[in-house]
Amino acid sequence: MTYPAPKIIDMRFTELAIRRPEDLVFGTAPKPLATRQGMVIGGGQVYPELNFTLPTMEIMAGTMPEVRGHYRQIIEGALKRAVELEAPGVVIEFENLPPMTENPAWGIERTLGAAHLGLPPHGPGAGRG
């Protein structure tokens, strides 16, 4: 499978988006970003964030099933706990390690796969009591 090259945007900044320290407020941004799942980042809500990477292991074609399993277990476990805690949402950030960068299809698969793990069948908030 081939993927189109990403569009590169030339952005030059000459000033800060938030000029006064007293205007720096957690969960707010001058230009909030809405995700496809309906979360608005920077709109006033502070979401918990999980950062993780794989345990020490060799990443190659033959170990990709194990790699997938690690990502699935970590993300599904975090999402299950977020639902139990009634979190309004959660941000999950993971590292694409060098072999996944050297083999872009692996990194793309992990990113797209992680984006769809654990989403409720009927949109955000489904299944909450």
Distance CA 100, CA 112 (A): 13
Instruction: Please count the CA atoms within 13 angstroms of the CA of 14 that sit on its side-chain side.
Output: 0
Partnered with residue 40 across adjacent β-strands are 34
Name residue, tokens 């060799």.
58
The ranges assigned to domains in the chain are 21-116
DSSP string, 102-119: HSHHHHHHHHHHHHHTT-
pLDDT of residue 129: 36
pLDDT of residue 2: 67
pLDDT of residue 34: 92
pLDDT of residue 1: 60
pLDDT of residue 29: 94
Q: Are the C-beta atoms of 59 and 97 separated by less than 8 Å?
A: yes
Name residue, tokens 């709109």.
43
DSSP 15: S
Q: What is the pLDDT along the chain (129 residues), one digit of tens a residue?
A: 666 777 788 888 888 989 999 999 999 999 999 988 888 999 999 999 988 888 888 998 899 889 888 888 988 898 899 999 999 888 888 888 888 888 888 888 877 777 666 554 434 444 433
Q: Are the C-beta atoms of 91 and 47 separated by less than 8 Å?
A: yes
Distance CA 86, CA 125 (A): 9
